[in-house]
Structure 1
Amino acid sequence: MTKKLCGTNYPASICFIVVNEFCERFSYYGMKAVLTLYFLTYLHWDKDLSTAVYHAFSSLCYFTPILGALIADSWLGKFKTIVYLSIVYVIGHVVKSVGAIPTVGNSSVHIALSMFGLILIAFGTGGIKPCVAAFGGDQFDEEHGSERQKFFSIFYMSINAGSLLSTVITPILRGDVKCFGGDCYALAFGVPAVLMIVALVVFTAGSVLYKRNPPQGNILLEVCNCIGFAIKNRWRRCKYDPQRKHWLDWAEENYSKRLIEEIKMVLRVLVLYIPLPMFWALFDQQGSRWTLQATRMNMAFGDTFVIKPDQMQMLNALLILLFVPIFDLIIYPLVGLCRINITPLRKMATGMIFAALAFGAATLVEVNVVKTVVDPAPARSCLLQVFNLAKANVSLKIPGSDLFPEPIQYLQDPSKYETLPLEASSKELKIQVTFNGKTLECNHTFDEQKAYSLILYPDTTTGIQCEHVDDHIVKNEDGNPLLRFLNTLPEAINLTVGQVNFQLPSSYSMSPNKTVARGEYSNVSCSLQSDQCSDFGLGLLDFGASYTVILMEESGKIVAHKMEDVSANDVHIAWQVPQYVLLTIGEVMFSITGLEFSYSQAPANMKSVLQAGWLLTVAFGNVIVLIVAEGAGLEQWKEFLLFAVLLLAVFIIFSIMAYFYTYVDPDQLDKIYLKDSGKEGNDDDDDDDDNRKKKTDDLHLNKTGKGTRL
C-alpha cells in the first residue's frame, strides 16, 4: 500500500520527486546562465562561436528527451532511467567543472573537457525530462486525480523556483568570487554539480516508497512504425491497388483502424507545429545574444547595487510567476467580456507578435548600445590617438593626411580615434612634430585595421620624442572596465588596483590592459623601486570603458591623469526590461497555451507523441539561431531585426494555417472514429483498440503547469 503524507491523500514519495526536480533545474539553469560568458571570457571564443555552441547545446537538450522516453518505456522503466541518466548528468557537471580549472591542462584540454561535459549534461537532462513528471504522476492512485493536478502545480513551481534562484546565484559565484586570478567559473559550475548530486541522492533515498510501473512499450515507436509501413506499402502497391482516402490507410493491413485514426488526428496538430521553431529561435536568445548585449550596458543601480549581465535571465522566471495569474484571472476574462473569441491558436499567434516586438525593442536598444563602441579601422587604414606629455602644445603633420589640424594640448584626453589612411597593409610614415618652434621627424610603421596611441614626451636632447603603442579598442567581454598605466617616472613602480597588480618599468613604459572590477577607486597603493609612494585615487572606472592612466611626478608626489580610450557604457540595463516583459508575455500566450492546446487535440495515448513534437520545435529553433549566428555575419542590431521580421512572417503563415484548422472536442474522439471508419457497432478490432486506448503513455501526465519552464 502506498504510504501517504500525514492526513492527506498525497503519497509521501512525491516529496523526494519535488526536491529532486528543484535541485536538477537549479543545476541546469545555473550552469546555463554563465555558459555564454564562459565561452567568451574563459575559452576566448568570439561572440558568434559562443552563441552557436550555446544553441547547439540547447538543441541537443531537446533532441535527447525522445531517447529518454524510448529507454524508459521500452526497456528500463522510468525509475532506472532517471537514476542511470542522472549519474551521466552528474559526471557531465563534474567534467564541466574540472574543465574550468586553469591549472588542468592547456586550452585544448579545457575545450575538450567542456564539450564532453556539455554532451553528457545534454543526454542527462534531456533523458530524464520526459520521465520525472510522469513518474510523479504514477505515484497517485486513479481516484486521486485532483491531488495529482495539485502535485503538478507544486512540481512546476519547484521548476521555476530552481530556475529563478540559480540565475541569481551562479552569476554571483562567477563574478564576485575570485579564484585562479579571475572569475571563478569552476565554482559557478561546481555548485550546480553539487546540486545535481543532491538531486540524485534525494531521488534514490525515496526508492523504497515509489510505486513503479513496468515498461509497457513506447507509443511513439509504434506511431513511427505505422507511418513507415504506410509509406512503404503505398510505394509498393499503389500501381495495382485502388486509391485510398488517406495515405495512412495503406497501413490497415498491419495496424488497427483506431490507431490509424488517432495518428491522423495527431498529424493535424503536428503540421501546425512546423512554423513554431521560429518562436523558440527568438526565445532562447535570452541566454546568448541578450546576455552579450547586457555586457555592453551600464549595470549599476545607484552606488550600492550592481547587477551582472548573466543575472538578467532571472527576469523571465520572475515575470512568468507574475504574469500567469494576471492573464488567467484578469486579462483573458476582460478580453472575453469584449466578446472576442480568444481561441488557443489565436493566443499563440498573438504570442508570436509579442516576441517579435521584444526583438524590435532589442534592436532599438542595440542601436544605442553600439554608439559607445569604437568601430575598427577599414582595410588599408588604422586608428590613431595622441597623448601629449610634452608640457606645451604640439602640432602634428602626417603625410597624405589632414588629421590633427589644431595643436594638441598638454595632457589632452583625445575625444575619439582618428582614421589614418595607409594605402597599403603596412606603411612607414614620417610624422612631423612641431614643438616650441622646433620640428622633429618621427618614423613609425603602422599596420592596417589596428589601433595605436602616439605618445609625445619631453627629451633633454631633442626637446621631444615620440613612441607608438598598440591599443585595445574592443570593449571588455564581461562588461568590466579595462585599465593600463603609462609610467613617466625614472624608476619602476608597482601598483595594486583592487585585487589587480600592475608592474611597470621606468621611463615612459606602458603596461598591458587588465580587467578591473567596476567601481570607485579612491586609494590605489603603490611602491617605487627605491621607496614607498603616497597612494592616489582614480575615481570611477565604469562599465565597458578602457582607460589609460598617465603617472607623473608633480610637486614631489605621484599624480595620476586618467584618459578614456573607449567610452563607458551609457545605456542602462533597465532598458532591457521592456524586451524581457514583451518576450515573457509572448511565452505565456504561446508556450503555455500551445501545450494546453496540443493535449486537448489528441487521444490520451498519443500525448507523448505531441510532447516529443513540441520539444523538437524547441530543438529546431535553437538550430536556426546556430545557423544564423555562424552564417549570416550581420551586425547585431540587423540580426535582431531579421529575427523579428522572420517571426512576423511566420506569424502570418501560422495564422493562415490556424484559420483552416478545425478544433476537435476530446470528448467526441470515439464518435469521430466511428464516423470516419463507417462503424455502427463493434468491430473485430474493438478489443485491441480498447486495450490500446487504455494503455495511456505515462508522458501524458506531463501536463503543463502554470508557469512551466521546459
Structure 2
Amino acid sequence: MTNRPQSATANTHRLKTGRDAANDNNMEEQRPDNRKKSRKICGTNYPLSISFIVVNEFCERFSYYGMKALLTLYFIRYLHWNKNLSTAIYHAFSGLCYFTPVIGAIIADSWLGKFKTIIYLSIVYVIGHVVKSVGAIPDVGDNNVHIGLSMFGLILIAFGTGGIKPCVAAFGGDQFEEEHTEERRKFFSIFYMSINAGSVLSTLITPILRADVQCFGGDCYALAFGVPAALMIIALVVFIAGSGLYKKSPPEGNVLLNVCKCIGFAISNRWGSSKKSPKRDHWLDWAEEKYSKSLIQEIKMVLRVLLLYIPLPMFWALFDQQGSRWTLQATRMNMDFGGGFVVKPDQMQMLNALLILVFIPIFDMGVYPLISLCRINLTPLKKMAAGMILAALAFCVATIVEINVIKTVVEPPPAKECLLQVLNLVNGDAVSVEITGHNIFPDKIESYKDPVGYTRLPLEDVQKILPVTVTQSGVGHQCELNVTQHTVYTLVLYRENSNIMCKQAEDNIIKSENGEAFLRFINTYSENMNITVGSEDFFASSNYGISQSLNVERGKYMQVPCKSDTKTHHIDLGLLDFGATYTFILLGDGNKVTVHMIEDVQANNVHIAWQIPQYVLITAGEVMFSITGLEFSYSQAPASMKSVLQAGWLLTVAFGNVIVLIVAEGAGLEQWTEFLLFAALLVAVSIIFSIMAYFYTYVDPDQLDKLTKEDDKMVDFKEKEKQNIDMTEVTQSTKI
C-alpha cells in the first residue's frame, strides 16, 4: 500500500540546453535561500526543519489512507450503490490521485516552487476533506446532495494529495547540505516510516470510528471522515509552523515540459523535413537543430525505461483492489477472533502496511543474500517479474477464498424465476406439495425440523398466481401462491381446524455488508407476541403470524423478552452469527415459550484470517516489484531525468486503476471469476515483461553523466566560438 513513492528523488533539475548548462552554477550562487545555514537537531547534521516535514507527512498519510479505507463501504452502505459502481468510483478516485502529481510537478517547477505548491494544494486538500465529511451528515439534503458533495470532495482531495505528492519528499531533501548525503538518505528512510505509520494507524482507527461510534442513528461516517480532515488541518498547520526554517528553492522550469517540447520538436521536424534531408540514426536526432546532444541522449535513455513501464499498470490493477474487492470479500467472512475481539472488514488493509515494514529487512538481509549464495543472478527486472507472479498468486488464493465464501450465499433468482421454500408446520405425517404446471417438490416435505431449503421456481411471466395443492394422508387442500420474478418466498403450511392453510412471506437472502444477522418470527400461539432483540422490536400476530425481517447486530442473545397479551416470557436465541438469516418458530404451551431456529441463509463460515495469505503474497510482491522498480528506474537515468521517471511511475498506478474501473463496470463477471481473470492477465503480462527485460541492456548512469558533462562543455565551447566569430564580424563592419 504505502511504498508507492511520494517522490523518489531529492531534487528536480532543469534540463539544460546551450548556455543554460554553463550558467547553472552561477544561478545557484545567486540564490540566498539555497545557501542559508539551517538550524540543526541536537548537534547533528539533520536540519530542524525536517521534523516539521516528517510530522506533516505522517498526518497527511493518516488523513488519506484513513479516508480511503472507508470509501467502498461508504459507497455501498451510505450512498446505496451496488458493488460494481462502488468499485469503479473507488478506482476512478485512486487513478485521479496518481494522474494529478504531473500537474503538481508542473506547478511547483514552473510557477510556485515546492513550498508554495504544498501550502496552496494542502488548502485544497483540507477543503476536500471538509466537504467530504459534510456530505456524510444525513441531515444535509437528499441522497443526490450527499453524492454531489462526496464526489466534489473526492475530486478536491485527489488534486490535493496528488499535487503535493511529487513535492513533499523532494522539499525535505532540499533541506540538507550537499555534503550530508548519508543524513539525506536516512531522512528518506524516516520519511518512509512516517508514511507507513500514518497508514497503519489510520486504517486501524477510522473503521472503529465508523462502526463503534453511532451517530444519526447508524454508522458514523461523518466522524470517520472528519478525523482525517482534522489530521490534514494539523498537517498544514505544522508545515506552515516550520516556514522560517526551510530552504526554499525558486521554480527552475519544468523538466517534464522540456522533454515534451524536445520530443514534439523532433516529431514535427521529422515529418516536416524534405525527402533530401540526411537520415538520422534515431528519430529523436531530428531535434539536434534546437536541443543539445546530451539532452537528446538523456531522453533516449529515459524512453528505454518508459518502454518497460508499459506492462506495469496490470500489477497496480491487482494491488489496489485491497481497498475495494478484497474489502467487500471481507464483509462476507467471519470476523470474530475470540475473546470479544471482532475485526472490521476495512481494517484488514492495515496488514499491507504492517507486513511491508517486516518484509523490507527480511528481503534485504535474508532473502536476497540467500539467493546470491545460490549463485543466482537476480537482476532488478527479474525481481520485478517475480513480484508480478507473487501478486498473481495472491489473486489465485483470493479466488479459492472467494469460492468458499460464496458457498454460504443464496444467489438471487434471475428473470422469470423466483425462489421458494416450504415450512411444514402441520402436525402428523409429511405433506406433498404440488404447484400446478411445476414439479419442483417431487418428494414429500417433512416437518419444519428438516427444512428442504430454497428451490428454483420457473415463471412464465413477470408475475404469476399459481394454484397449490397440499396433500396429507390422502386428503388434498387448496391454496394460492402469488409470486413475482427475482423474489424469494417462504410458504408456511399449518393446520386450522381440519384444514391445511397456506401463508406466504417474502424473504431476505442478501447478506448484510455490516456482518449483521437478519431474523424473523413465526408465532404459533393464539396470542400476539412482541419480541425485543437488541434495539429491534418484532411483532408476530397470533395463529401463525409472521413478523417482518429485521437486522440485528451479531452476537449471543440469551433471555430475550417475549411478551404475549397476558405474560412476559424469556427465550434463548443463541448466537446470531455474521451474515446469516434466521426464522424462529415460537412453540410450546401457554406457560413456557420455546423457539426452533431455521437458518435460511447460512452464516459466514470462512474466517477472515484466510485473507492473510493473500495479503502476505501481494505485499511480498510489492516489495520485489515496487521498491526494486524505483531503484532500477533511477539507476538507469541521469539525475536531470529522474522527475520524468517519477511522473511515468505514478502514471502506471493511475492506469492500473483505470483497468479495474473498466473490468468492474464492463465485464459483469462473478467475483471469483474476476479474481482469476486478473491473475491470468498478470501472468501473461509478466511473461511479456520478462521478454522485454531479456532484451534490455543495463547502462552505467555515472558514465552517462560523465558524457553529459563533456557534451555540455563542448556545447558551451561552440557557443563561445560562435559569439567570438559574431563579435569579430561586428568589429569589422564597424571599421568599414
Fold agreement, TM-score > 0.5: yes
Aligned to 2:612: 577
Q: Unpaired segments of 5 or more residues in structure 1? A: 689-710
| Structure 1 residues 479-494: aligned runs within 5 Å | 479-489=515-525, 492-494=528-530
The CA distance in 2 between the partners of 1:247 and 1:520, in whole Å, is: 73
| Structure 1 residues 345-424: aligned runs within 5 Å | 345-393=381-429, 394-412=431-449, 414-424=451-461
| Structure 1 residues 484-563: aligned runs within 5 Å | 484-489=520-525, 492-504=528-540, 508-528=544-564, 530=565, 533-552=568-587, 554-563=589-598
Give the direction of change, closer, same or farther, for the CA distance of 1:208–1:581 in structure 2 (3 Å limit): same
Q: Which amino acid aligns with 1:35?
A: L
The CA distance in 2 between the partners of 1:495 and 1:5, in whole Å, is: 66
The CA distance in 2 between the partners of 1:240 and 1:468, in whole Å, is: 88
The answer to whether the Cα contact below 8 Å between 1:356 and 1:643 also exists between their aligned partners in 2 is: yes
Residue 592 of structure 1, aligned match among 624, 627, 639: 627
Aligned to 1:658: 693
Give the direction of change, closer, same or farther, for the CA distance of 1:257–1:457 in structure 2 (3 Å limit): same
The answer to whether the Cα contact below 8 Å between 1:413 and 1:564 also exists between their aligned partners in 2 is: no
Aligned to 1:703: none
Give the direction of change, closer, same or farther, for the CA distance of 1:13–1:401 in structure 2 (3 Å limit): same
Does residue 656 of structure 2 align to residue 616 of structure 1? no
Q: Which amino acid aligns with 2:329?
A: Q
Return the offset for 1:561.
2.6
Aligned to 1:428: 465
The CA distance in 2 between the partners of 1:503 and 1:67, in whole Å, is: 59
Give the direction of change, closer, same or farther, for the CA distance of 1:200–1:495 in structure 2 (3 Å limit): farther
Give the direction of change, closer, same or farther, for the CA distance of 1:424–1:667 in structure 2 (3 Å limit): same
| Structure 1 residues 178-327: aligned runs within 5 Å | 178-327=214-363
Does residue 714 of structure 2 align to residue 682 of structure 1? yes
Partner of 1:301, secondary structure, is coil
The answer to whether the Cα contact below 8 Å between 1:88 and 1:124 also exists between their aligned partners in 2 is: yes
Residue 71 of structure 1, aligned match among 107, 128, 134: 107
Return the offset for 1:403.
3.0
| Structure 1 residues 21-32: aligned runs within 5 Å | 21-32=57-68
Does residue 121 of structure 2 align to residue 121 of structure 1? no
Residue 640 of structure 1, aligned match among 652, 675, 695: 675
Return the offset for 1:429.
1.0
RMSD of aligned alpha carbons:
2.1
Structure of higher CA gyration radius: 2
Q: Which amino acid aligns with 2:283?
A: W
The CA distance in 2 between the partners of 1:184 and 1:611, in whole Å, is: 38
The CA distance in 2 between the partners of 1:492 and 1:31, in whole Å, is: 47
Return the offset for 1:151.
1.0
Does residue 15 of structure 2 align to residue 15 of structure 1? no
Aligned to 2:638: 603
The answer to whether the Cα contact below 8 Å between 1:51 and 1:288 also exists between their aligned partners in 2 is: yes
Moved more, 198-207 or 497-506: 497-506
Does residue 495 of structure 2 align to residue 458 of structure 1? yes
Does residue 666 of structure 2 align to residue 631 of structure 1? yes
The CA distance in 1 between the partners of 2:334 and 2:124, in whole Å, is: 40
The answer to whether the Cα contact below 8 Å between 1:486 and 1:510 also exists between their aligned partners in 2 is: yes
The CA distance in 1 between the partners of 2:568 and 2:639, in whole Å, is: 79
Moved more, 312-321 or 439-448: 439-448
Q: Which amino acid aligns with 2:363?
A: F
The answer to whether the Cα contact below 8 Å between 2:445 and 2:452 also exists between their aligned partners in 1 is: no
The CA distance in 2 between the partners of 1:618 and 1:667, in whole Å, is: 29
Note the alpha carbon deviations across 1:504-545, whole angstroms, 9 max, x for none: 5555443443332221111323445x5662332211111121
The answer to whether the Cα contact below 8 Å between 1:83 and 1:204 also exists between their aligned partners in 2 is: yes
TM-score (norm 1): 0.92
Moved more, 351-360 or 399-408: 399-408
| Structure 1 residues 104-115: aligned runs within 5 Å | 104-115=140-151
The answer to whether the Cα contact below 8 Å between 2:540 and 2:547 also exists between their aligned partners in 1 is: yes
The CA distance in 2 between the partners of 1:139 and 1:687, in whole Å, is: 35
Return the offset for 1:627.
0.4
Q: Which amino acid aligns with 1:180?
A: F
TM-score (norm 2): 0.89
The answer to whether the Cα contact below 8 Å between 1:392 and 1:409 also exists between their aligned partners in 2 is: no
Note the alpha carbon deviations across 1:427-467, whole angstroms, 9 max, x for none: 2211112356643211122122321111223334x633212
The CA distance in 1 between the partners of 2:205 and 2:705, in whole Å, is: 51
The answer to whether the Cα contact below 8 Å between 1:542 and 1:569 also exists between their aligned partners in 2 is: yes
Identity of aligned residues (%): 70
Aligned to 1:706: none
The CA distance in 2 between the partners of 1:392 and 1:668, in whole Å, is: 93
Return the offset for 1:400.
2.7
Note the alpha carbon deviations across 1:153-185, whole angstroms, 9 max, x for none: 111101001111111111111122222222221
Note the alpha carbon deviations across 1:389-445, whole angstroms, 9 max, x for none: 334443322223333344434433524201122233322211112356643211122
Note the alpha carbon deviations across 1:288-311, whole angstroms, 9 max, x for none: 111111111112223522212111
Partner of 1:554, secondary structure, is coil
Return the offset for 1:49.
0.8
Does residue 178 of structure 2 align to residue 133 of structure 1? no
The CA distance in 1 between the partners of 2:407 and 2:390, in whole Å, is: 27
The answer to whether the Cα contact below 8 Å between 2:108 and 2:251 also exists between their aligned partners in 1 is: yes
Q: Which amino acid aligns with 1:227?
A: I
Give the direction of change, closer, same or farther, for the CA distance of 1:531–1:178 in structure 2 (3 Å limit): farther
Note the alpha carbon deviations across 1:559-605, whole angstroms, 9 max, x for none: 33322111111222121111111111110000000001111111101
Partner of 1:77, secondary structure, is helix
Give the direction of change, closer, same or farther, for the CA distance of 1:389–1:9 in structure 2 (3 Å limit): same
Give the direction of change, closer, same or farther, for the CA distance of 1:193–1:493 in structure 2 (3 Å limit): farther
Return the offset for 1:76.
1.2
Note the alpha carbon deviations across 1:195-235, whole angstroms, 9 max, x for none: 11111111112112222111111111111111111111111
Moved more, 586-595 or 486-495: 486-495
Q: Which amino acid aligns with 1:62?
A: Y
Partner of 1:433, secondary structure, is strand
Note the alpha carbon deviations across 1:356-397, whole angstroms, 9 max, x for none: 111111111111111111123344322101123334443322
The CA distance in 1 between the partners of 2:633 and 2:259, in whole Å, is: 17
Give the direction of change, closer, same or farther, for the CA distance of 1:134–1:671 in structure 2 (3 Å limit): closer
The answer to whether the Cα contact below 8 Å between 2:638 and 2:705 also exists between their aligned partners in 1 is: no
